[in-house]
């Protein structure tokens, strides 16, 4: 005889849980915050967005230009945040041949008042476009300055001599600039700093004006700020969230992705921490 089996119903195993009111509230708050952040970002960058979505809205963007135009939105915002400051650029052979007669206005609104031009690199390299750029800026009445790209593993005095031989500063030119971006491979930081000071001392003695130091913000704060406090600094920082120049920066290079008439390649843009009269005050006499 077959055994009769019975199935017992577990009263708690099949119960359908009720939707948590608390969980729904949390989700509502979360998505609301996302919307507010999105709207806040649009409002914050309204100047740049208006510029590109307004009278430039008819321009069709190629796929490989999207990144550049996102940068442009931020660049416009930075420029709008520094009304009254002086705007300039820096160039080297990487920008190709520059038509200096066309270099005048950035984004159809912001005058280009100064340019730093790469003259030399290391102990043996003269920039291929330096002579043309140096003369072109002068002929078109753009305040000019020259910079040297420092190679940490090469003799500092030889590097200074090459710069001095190449660059003839005139009245109204900006002070010479030492560009230091890399750490040494086969020497200590102390040795690097001694080399930098030897370059700076020799160049200052020759031109009778104290050089400016160019570097990245992290390099500046980690290695140079304390021991080179007597020098003025030109700082590079392209961080999307940085939109104001620091009080102790003389110049701020805030982008490397700007477009400018007369230059076929993207170019760096800089802000001087003062007005035009103050900029003229620091030039060579």
pLDDT one-digit tens code per residue, 195-242: 999 999 999 999 999 999 999 999 999 999 999 999 999 999 999 888
What pLDDT does 74 receive? 87
Band (69; pLDDT cuts 50, 70, 90)? low
Residues near 85 by Cβ (< 8 Å), separated by ≥ 6? 245, 271, 272, 273, 274, 275
Asked if 181 and 215 count as a contact pair (C-beta separation under 8 A), the reply is yes
For the stretch 246-265, pLDDT in tens is: 999 999 999 999 999 999 99
Superfamily of domain 86-281: Glycosidases (3.20.20.80)
**Tokens in use for 127?**
């920039």
Q: Which of 99, 102, 181, 227 is catalytic?
A: 181
**Which among 90, 127, 179, 268 is annotated as catalytic?**
90
90 an active-site residue?
yes
**Rounded Cα distance, 144 and 13, in Å:** 81
Domain ranges of the chain: 86-281
User: Among candidates 76, 145, 148, which has minimal Cα distance to 113?
Assistant: 145
pLDDT of 122 over the 50 cut: yes
- State the pLDDT confidence band at 29, using cuts at 50, 70 and 90: confident
Q: pLDDT tens-digit profile of 41-53?
A: 554 544 444 433 3
Our answer to whether residue 127 is catalytic in this structure is no
Q: What is d(CA 13, CA 9) in angstroms, rounded to the nearest whole number?
A: 9
DSSP 120-163: EETTTEE-TTHHHHHHHHHHTT-EEEEEEE--TTS-HHHHHHHH
Q: How far apart are CA 168 and CA 146, in angstroms?
A: 9
């Amino acid at each position: 005889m077959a055994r009769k089996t019975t199935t017992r119903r577990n009263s708690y195993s099949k119960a359908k849980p009720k939707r948590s009111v608390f969980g729904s509230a949390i989700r509502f708050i979360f998505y609301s915050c996302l919307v507010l952040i999105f709207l806040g970002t649009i409002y914050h960058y309204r100047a740049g967005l208006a510029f590109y979505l307004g009278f430039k809205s008819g321009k069709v963007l190629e796929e490989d230009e999207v990144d550049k135009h996102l940068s442009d939105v931020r660049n416009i915002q930075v420029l709008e945040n520094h009304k009254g400051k002086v705007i300039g650029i820096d160039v080297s052979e990487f920008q190709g041949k520059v038509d200096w007669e066309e270099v005048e206005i950035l984004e159809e609104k912001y005058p280009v008042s100064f340019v730093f031009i790469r003259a030399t690199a290391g102990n043996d390299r003269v920039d291929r476009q330096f002579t043309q750029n140096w003369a072109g800026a002068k002929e078109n009445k753009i305040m000019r300055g020259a910079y040297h790209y420092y190679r940490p593993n090469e003799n500092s005095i030889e590097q200074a001599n090459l710069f001095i031989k190449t660059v003839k500063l005139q009245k109204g030119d900006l002070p010479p600039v030492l560009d230091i971006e890399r750490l040494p491979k086969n020497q200590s930081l102390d040795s690097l700093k001694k080399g930098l000071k030897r370059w700076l001392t020799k160049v200052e003695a020759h031109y009778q004006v104290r050089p400016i130091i160019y570097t990245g913000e992290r390099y500046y704060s980690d290695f140079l700020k304390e021991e080179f406090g007597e020098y003025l600094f030109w700082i590079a920082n392209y961080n999307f969230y940085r939109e104001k120049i620091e009080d102790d920066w003389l110049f701020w290079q805030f982008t490397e992705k700007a477009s400018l008439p007369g230059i076929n390649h993207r170019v760096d843009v800089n802000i001087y921490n003062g007005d035009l009269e103050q900029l003229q005050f620091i030039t060579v006499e």
